[in-house]
A and B are shown apart, each in its own frame.
Chain A
Amino acid sequence: MPDPVRLNGMTSAASALQMMERRQQVLANNLANVSTRGFKAETPFARMMGNAMAVTDTTLDTTAGTLTETHNPLDLAVAGDGFFVTQTPGGERFTRDGSFQLDSERRLVDSRGNQVLGEDGPIVLRNGKIEVESDGSVKVDGRLVSRLRLERVADSAKLEHEGGTQFVPDATRQAIAAGERNVRQGFVEESNVNSMSAMTAMIDVLHRYGAAQKTLSTLDSVRAIATTEIGKPI
Chain B
Amino acid sequence: MNPALRAAATGMMAQQTRTEVISNNLANVNTPGFKRSRAHFEDLLYQSIQGQQVLGDPNAETAPAIQVGRGTRLAGILRMHEQGTVEQTGRNLDVMIEGNGFFQLDDGKGNTTYTRDGSFQISDKGLLITSDGWALQPPIRIPTDASNITISVNGNVAVTRGKDIQATEIGKIDLVAFANPSGLQSLGRNMYGSTAASGEPVVGAPGDDGMGTLQQGSLEGSNVEIVQEMVEMIIAMRAYEINSKAIKNADEMGQMANNLTR
Contact = CB atoms under 8 A, between A and B. Distances in A.
Nearest to A26: B68
Interface string B44-66: 11100110000111100001111
A20 B75 contact: no
A22 B68 contact: yes
B42 A165 contact: yes
Interface string A21-59: 110111111111111110100100001011000011110
A24 B69 CA distance: 11
Contacts of A39: 43
Nearest to A141: B209
A36 B68 contact: no
Contacts, number: 193
Nearest to A161: B46
Nearest to A212: B256
Interface in A154-202: 158, 160-165, 195, 198-199, 202
Interface stretch (A81-89, A104-112, A142-150, A226-234): A104-112
A99 B242 contact: no
Given A17-B257, A35-B235, A35-B239, A29 B70 contact: yes
A8 interface: no
B64 A195 contact: no
A195 B242 contact: yes
A202 B246 contact: yes
A18 to B, nearest CB: 10
Contacts of B260: 213, 216-217, 220
Summarize B's interface: helix, strand, loop or mixed. Answer: mixed
Interface stretch (B103-111, B146-154, B164-172, B174-182): B174-182
Nearest to B235: A35
Contacts of A20: 253
Contact of B45 (A97, A162, A199, A216): A162
B199 A104 contact: yes
B68 A31 contact: no
B256 A55 contact: no
A28 B242 contact: no
B15 interface: yes
A23 B256 CA distance: 16
A32 B183 CA distance: 27
B159 interface: no
B80 A58 contact: no
Given A32-B7, A33-B72, A55 B66 contact: yes
B252 interface: yes
Contacts of B199: 103-106
A36 B42 CA distance: 5
Contact of B69 (A2, A29, A57): A29
A127 B260 CA distance: 66
B68 A164 contact: no
10 contacts: A21-B253, A28-B8, A32-B14, A35-B15, A50-B56, A102-B180, A103-B180, A106-B180, A158-B64, A216-B260
Pick the 9 closest A-B CB pairs, nearest first. A32-B11, A29-B69, A104-B199, A127-B210, A163-B45, A28-B7, A28-B4, A32-B71, A164-B42
Interface of B: 2-5, 7-8, 10-11, 14-15, 18, 40-46, 49-50, 55-58, 63-72, 75-76, 78, 80, 82, 177, 179-180, 182-183, 196-200, 209-210, 235-236, 238-239, 242-243, 245-247, 249-250, 252-253, 256-257, 259-260, 262
Given A21-B2, A102-B182, 5 more contacts: A21-B253, A33-B43, A37-B40, A106-B199, A128-B209
